Structure 1
Amino acid sequence: MEKRYPLVHPNVKGFLHGGDYNPDQWLHMPDIIDEDFRLMKLAHCQTFSISIFGWSKLEPTEGQYDFAWLDDIMDRLAEQGAHAILATPSGARPAWLSQKYPEVLRVEANRQRNLHGLRHNHCFTSPVYREKTNQLNRLLAERYKDHPALIMWHISNEYGGECHCDLCQEAFRTYLKNKYNDDLEALNQAWWTGFWSHTFSDWSQIESPAPHGEHMIHGMNLDWKRFVTAQTIHFYQNEIEPLRELTPNIPVTTNFMGDYPHMRPYLGLDYHQFAKEVDVISWDSYPAWHSGRETTAELASNVAFVHDLYRSLKNGQPFLLMESTPSLVNWHEVNKVKHKGMAHLSAMQAIAHGSDSVLYFQWRQGRGASEKLHGAVVSHAGHENTRVFQEVADLGKQLEKLQPIAGTSVQPEVAIIYDWENHWAIDDAQALNNTNKRYVEACQTHYRSFWKKGIPVDIVGMEKDFSSYRVLIGPMLYMVKPGVAEKIEAFVKSGGVFVATYWSGIVDENDLCILGGFPGPLRNVLGIWAEEINTFMPDEHVMMSTGNGRTYDVGQYGELIHVESAAALGHFENGCYEGQPALTVHQFGDGKAYYMASENVQAFYDEFYEDLMRDIGIKPVISSAIPEGVSVQRRTDGAQDYVFMMNFTEQQQHVPLPSGENYENMLTAQHTSQQVQLAPYEYVILKK
């Protein structure tokens, strides 16, 4: 049965292509704006995020508004059939607001109030700032609610950071009183404040974590991060209140972030919670291609992981690539342009993993300030005769040919648990390798085994219903929240396969160690208990072997475990745990639960998951062999599959097609049934 997701607006057909447009910076040069509208058509760009930082032009002095310039831009977009993703401009406020109402300025963890400047430098608790943003947003909604160009609201920009002012301190205490039912003793127990005599005898004594005490009370640190997420969401809800009221049929989004340049999830906010409040997930992707930090294929796998994470936040609904660069950024340590083919390939990778857009930052390079040398579709040259502009135009033409794919999604049978709160707690713990405990790297290493084989994966949180998957993987599930172990047990009993690793089941949701032996509430389903974990030095060469005769290098962690009802499949070959189990399996109900007691090289995970997929019958997108560095992904509506083959190497690659299957190349309309040849950084999209 066909299943498609109506993503944004009835006026939208196919993929969104365009990006951030800042005409407010060019109002004194109207010929530039005229030229922009000519170039938009040539670039095959039809969607623009407008007025993200336009507050000082919309309200140049308090209560004095100027919408004439925005009226003109919106009207001109509509005249040429283009779309506007209209922003609320709270990400950067005008100077008059900071001057008259200093309470809106953010206070840092050292309790010093910031000066005016930067962006996102606002207190998310300030009643004044909430009032001013709500007021301006209401005026925007009243004015443009019926405008034919409007397809979506872009709420603020890249929410992030935290404020430690007195208003936020009081809000934090209120949050804690609600969470702990006004029971201060319950908070003291949850935070284990008897340590170093930090017990609180009055709510007024509680403050946000300060720089000198960041490692003292882990439960407080965790609750503070939860509060920052909750308060940020509350600020966002205040922003969208008039939009929901006046434009109920216009969806809202806010652009989530990644942690660059290695492409990890952004740690500042719990996006599992934030995702519940947006209609469409969107995010800003800026990987450091060609930096030499890792191979292009390794970085591509990490980027894919984050794409899949954000696609999974709304149960497979397509997301939007809200920002990407058509060439280079200006804020990496070293700023590299995208090599020939990479701009297209990077964009198409987002599409392959579920994006319904390719949007850029930025449409036109600014003339001054910090982003004047950031890449853009239109450079300072100001015309279409540049490499980047022509590449963007060519991609726009390709997206028009791929229109039937928009609205389809991905249907994985495998899920990996990545949880923001677990990540916070792991990073806060004083244990293992305190420089980098490698939690997200662990998640991405397991993920890479499936990426290489062309098996789609969802990246989910602990709150997710796991029942739709056949395989569930929980790397370093250090924190086990209430009810999660029970869900995992039910999943395995009903025939699912669960894979857990070292350092799992250590603490509860308050970051309190679980008593009675690790892996705590997962002990029953895994059939083992873990006594201790060791962190190996770089010069320690520890090996593990499996029952099939394969031997592998162990990474920085090895755990001493004891088999209870499980069976050992592998053992440590040497080192302090020589002869002890390194890999176990436990038959539990109709399913199985595996435990990996060591961090291992990629080859171990590749071979383990290849065997597992074959044993349980999970098939890759194509059954033929996929060359190293080539990614094969699939989008589907249930009735029609679309196969993406992408070469993330600098060598020519050949991908054989399964015997007896015939495909059409959607970009060339040619048919093929034997093999696909891919030049460096080339891709094809096939329809069966």
Structure 2
Amino acid sequence: MINEKKPKIWYGGDYNPDQWEKPVWDEDVRMFKLAGIDVATLNVFAWAKNQPNEDTYDFGWLDEMMDKLHDAGIGVCLATSTAAHPAWMARKYPDVTRVDFDGRKRKFGGRHNSCPNSPNYRLYSVRMAEMLADRYKDHPALLIWHVSNEYGGYCYCDNCAAAFRDWLKERYGSIDRVNQVWNTAFWGHTFYDWEDIVPPNGVSEEWRGANGRTETNFQGISLDYRRFQSDSLLACYELEYDALKKFTPDVPVTTNLMGAYKELDYHKWAKKLDVVSWDNYPSLDTPHSFTAMMHDLMRGLKEGQPFMLMEQTPSQQNWQPYNSLKRPGVMRLWSYQAVARGADTVMFFQLRRSIGACEKYHGAVIEHVGHEHTRVFRECAALGAELNTLGDSLLDSRVQAKAAILFDWDNWWAVEMSSGPTIALQYVKEAHKYYEALYEANIPADVIGVDADFGGYSVLVAPVLYMTKPGISEKLEAFVKAGGTLITTFFSGIVDENDRVITGGYPGKLRKLLGIWSEEIDALLPGQSNRLVLSAQTAGLRSEYECGMLCDLIHTEGAEVRAVYGDDFYRGMPALTVNKFGQGEAWYLATSPEQAFLNEWLPKICEDLGARPLLRNAPHGVETTVRAKDGHEFLFVLNHNADSVRVDLGDKSVSDLLGGRTLSGTVEVPGRDLLILRR
């Protein structure tokens, strides 16, 4: 539990006193206390202030602020400041800056502009982490370390090229093996020497295609470069992590992730984090189910361990095309949505608005007016008081689910670098369709990786499992054989971990488990559709639904047909099958159906297997989830609607943690409000 030194849901956020003159500091601390702020993240982008030249370090301002916050009862999430290198470093050591996708050498500027394989960047970033850890190892304000900030972005420089070759040598051992796994016999791409291998970018193998997708001539090369760059950035984090742990072995270390951020394999990263933290920035029109899925994805990175909500905005963002205000009550509601799904902190970017540069219009607890008499501050202060009242009641409680959705970064990269069959296929969007069906039915679901333990689940949904990594087919067979239910979809089982097609018929190594053979895959044009016609009527389901995008033309090899296609030359061919396998069963949905089908079909499958709704007949826009510890369950009922709704809590009495009431039966939940019920 990260909150041991401050046993409550931490409340606070990023604070940049280095951007302000000292007279502002005391006023800020006064208002922090009014708002119930008890944790501040310091030093995120202060490398230039801490180290004005190669030989000079000055932490005086940070000493003063650490002491000031501690005296006010505010703890510190202390960043290492290495998220943006100083200008002198780029001038003196040009290897520090990146080469971009188009092969251009970057100058000083921007933020994510440090080459992860620059010897000088690594040298000075580790030295900074060591100096900070040594200096503040005994400071009573220190609660947790925050390494760098929002890692991301790739580099294609000569240092990265050399490091990529070393990475390949370690992974494959020989140039012959590289040629084999990349299938370089195609187009005569055979490599004769390690020096022949260059990073795949806009001057070699890749180009920007339709819809902003990256296209590539050789998926194997591009896939490995993404793995390599993710590992390179992770190595930078690990170097700082080790430097911090030398001096503060008992202080947890994290870095803030960004949900479904495509460039980094967060399943690998999570193994190196003491606690997962992430930054949540939905738009006004982002589906609430998608935000919930991102929270569940972050929670699933460390097998259900509570995570930190490191950043959200109190009101307004600045970097989206249309930066809407959060309506009254929404900041509180979305904060509790994070808590409901496993967060043990509620933190913001930022505590005081900057007056210049690209984030000056990004919301803050303290607005440009500089006082507490604003709507945003009043809402923040009310939430701070409420979290203080909750104390430690929710800390380290765990979300429990009998259903899970598989999500894998390697699979995501491979699906969307495929040279066919359609550019319309978006991995995250397809995964969300299945998640949304469970969300709307108020059935809890974890979002997990392929390395996770499947044993505690009744239902496992693996949308578009295009890549079958070593051992995954055997693991899925064992899950189903033991009584589990697997649901997978079109375009699954196609390739191995190097994006080479598994010959012998789709879905490759999943063929026996699913009891089908997929002979062809039809890609429908925009506006085209087919029909999913159910072969036997099921209560609550229509007889047919629209489907499209991709349609697998499959033959059964033991599986039972539950639906067929309604149109085109493959009318009457199977579109939904189920195969009995051991004690369980494996479903294959050969096309992408309309959302209504999944909303009506998937919950029935789950309920039959013990994954039941937390609330039945809840109105649309009501979200539920449950956290549990010490024999107690805490049911969250969140009303995302602007108007009040009535929900049926059943006959048993429950305690309302926020309202101090005992409730049962049908109760009213006001618009953009919530209940936390102990049962």
- How would you bin the TM-score normalised by the shorter chain? over 0.9
Contact 1:352 1:634 in 2 (8 A): yes
Secondary structure at 1:415's aligned position in 2?
strand
Structure 1 counterpart of 2:176, from 175, 185, 209:
185
Task: Compute the RMSD of aligned alpha carbons.
Answer: 1.2
Moved more, 540-549 or 558-567: 540-549
Residue 662 in structure 1 maps to residue 653 in structure 2? yes
Note the C-alpha offset of 1:9. Answer: 4.6
- The residue that corresponds to 2:241 in the other structure is 240
The AA in structure 2 aligned to 1:47 is: V
Which residue in the other structure is 1:39 paired with?
31
Contact 1:417–1:459 (8 Å) recurs in 2: yes
1:24 to 2:18 alignment: yes
- Give the corresponding residue for 1:408: 397
Q: Secondary structure at the match of 2:399?
A: coil
Partner of 1:11: 5
Question: Which residue is 1:3 aligned to?
Answer: none
Partner AA of 1:483 in structure 2: G
Residue aligning to 2:264: 269
Q: Find 1:144's aligned residue among 110, 131, 136.
A: 136
Query: Once the 2 structures are TM-superposed, how far is the Cα of residue 648 of structure 1 from its aligned partner?
Result: 1.7
Partner of 2:408: 419
User: For residues 562 and 101 of structure 2, what CA distance do their matches in structure 1 show?
Assistant: 49
Q: Is the 8 A contact 2:490 2:592 kept in 1?
A: yes
Amino acid aligned to 1:229: S
Q: State the one-letter code of the partner of 1:272.
A: H
In percent, how many aligned pairs have the same letter? 43
Q: Residue 354 of structure 2 aligns to which amino acid in structure 1? A: G
Deviations along 1:76-118, whole A, 9 cap, x unmatched?
A: 1111221100001111111111111111111112222111011
SS in 2 for 1:356: strand
Work out whether residues 9 and 250 of structure 1, in 8 Å CA contact, stay in contact via their aligned partners in 2. no
CA distance in 2, matches of 1:642, 1:465: 25
After the TM superposition, which residues 626-665 of structure 1 pair with which residues of structure 2 at under 5 Å, given as runs? 626-637=618-629, 639-658=631-650, 660-665=651-656
In 2 relative to 1, CA 604–638 (structure 1 residues): closer, same or farther, beyond 3 Å?
A: farther
Distance 1:384 1:56 in 2: 31
Q: Secondary structure at the match of 2:552?
A: strand
Residue in structure 2 matching 1:285, options 265, 280, 286: 280
SS in structure 2 of the partner of residue 10 of structure 1: helix
1:361 Cα deviation from its structure 2 partner: 0.5
Residue 86 of structure 2 corresponds to residue 85 of structure 1:
no
What per-residue deviation string (whole Å, max 9, x for no partner) do you get for residues 134-183 of structure 1?
111111111100111001000000000111111111000000011111x1
Aligned-partner Cα distance in 2 for 1:25–1:167: 34
1 CA distance for matches of 2:527 and 2:160?
47
Which of 148, 152, 156 is equivalent to 1:160? Answer: 152
What is the Cα deviation at residue 423 of structure 1? 0.4
Question: In the aligned structure 2, how far is the partner of 1:381 from the partner of 1:109?
Answer: 41
Partners of 1:572 and 1:579 within 8 A in 2: yes
Is 1:399 matched up with 2:387? yes
The equivalences for 1:13-412 within 5 A come to 13-26=7-20, 29-181=21-173, 183-212=174-203, 213-214=205-206, 215-258=216-259, 265-289=260-284, 291=285, 299-403=287-391, 404-412=393-401
Task: Verify: 1:598 aligned to 2:586, yes or no.
Answer: no
One-letter identity of the residue aligned with 2:17: P
Q: Distance in 1 between matches of 2:92 and 2:527?
A: 60
Deviation by residue 1:354-373 (Cα, 9 ceiling, x = unmatched)? 01111000000011111111
Partner of 1:262: none
Q: Which residue of 1 aligns with 2:578?
A: 585
Counterpart residue type for residue 192 of structure 1 = N
Equivalent position SS for 2:358? coil
Deviation at 1:433, TM superposition (A): 2.2
Q: Secondary structure at the match of 2:133?
A: helix
Q: Which residue of 2 aligns with 1:462?
A: 450
Deviation sequence 1:459-507 (CA, Å, 0-9, x none): 1111222112111111000000010000000000000000010000000
- The TM-score, its normalising length taken from structure 2, stands at 0.96
Cα pair 1:432 1:535 within 8 Å, conserved: yes
Kindly report structure 1 stretches of 4+ aligned residues shifted beyond 3 Å.
Answer: none
C-alpha displacement of 1:650: 2.7
Amino acid at match of 1:476: V
Work out the number of aligned pairs and report it.
663
Matching residue of 1:533: 521
SS at match of 1:649: coil
Distance in 1 (CA, whole Å) between partners of 2:630 and 2:491 is 38
- Amino acid paired to 2:617: A
Give the match for residue 618 of structure 1.
611
Whole-angstrom distance in 2 between the partners of 1:392 and 1:382: 15
- Does the 8 Å contact 2:303/2:452 carry over to 1? no
SS of the equivalent of 2:55 reads coil
Task: Give the equivalent residue in structure 2 for 1:261.
Answer: none
1:431 and 2:425 equivalent?
Answer: no
Worse overlay, 72-81 or 671-680: 671-680
Contact conserved, 1:533 with 1:559, CA < 8 A, in 2?
A: yes
Task: Tell me how far 1:242 sits from its aligned partner.
Answer: 1.6
For 1:107 and 1:279, how far apart are their aligned partners in 2?
32
Evaluate the alpha carbon distance shift between residue 352 and residue 432 of structure 1 in structure 2; reply closer, same or farther with a 3 A threshold: same
Query: Separation in 1 of the partners of 2:63 and 2:603?
Result: 57
- 2:589 is aligned with what amino acid? M
Q: Give the corresponding residue for 1:557.
A: 550
How many angstroms does 1:637 deviate by?
A: 1.1
Distance (whole Å) between structure 1 residues aligned to residue 606 and residue 471 of structure 2: 28
CA distance in 2, matches of 1:680, 1:193: 59
Unaligned runs of 5+ in 1: 1-5, 259-264
Which structure 2 segments of 5+ residues have no match? 207-215, 538-542
8 A Cα contact 2:99 2:157, kept in partner: yes
Partner in structure 2 of residue 673 of structure 1: 664
Q: Secondary structure at the match of 1:605?
A: helix
Q: Which amino acid aligns with 1:686?
A: L
Amino acid at match of 2:461: I
Partner-residue secondary structure (3-state), 2:31: helix
Alpha-carbon separation, structure 2, partners of 1:428 and 1:617: 37
- Determine if contact 2:458/2:610 at 8 Å carries over to the other structure: no
Per-residue CA deviations over 1:226-275 (Å, capped at 9, x if unaligned) read 000111111111112221111000000000013xxxxxx10010000011
Q: Which amino acid aligns with 1:442?
A: E
Shift of 1:568: 0.4
- Are the equivalent residues in 2 in contact too, given 1:401–1:666 (CA < 8 A)? no
CA contact (8 A) 2:151 2:257 kept: yes
Of the candidates 485, 497, 500, which is equivalent to residue 473 of structure 2? 485
1:45-71 C-alpha deviation (Å, 9 max, x unpaired): 111110000111111222211111111
SS in 1 for 2:604: helix
Residue 638 of structure 1: how far off its partner (Å): 5.1
- Maintained 8 Å contact 1:555/1:599: yes
Q: Is the 8 A contact 2:443 2:603 kept in 1?
A: no
After TM superposition, give the deviation of residue 301 of structure 1 in Å.
0.2
Any idea what SS the aligned residue of 2:4 has? coil
Spell out, residue by residue over 1:367-399, the C-alpha distance to the aligned partner (whole angstroms, 9 max, x if none): 111111111100110000000001111111121
Quick one: distance in 1 between partners of 2:226 and 2:611? 38
Give a deviation string over 1:648-674, Cα, whole Å, max 9, x none.
Answer: 22332111112x211111111011111
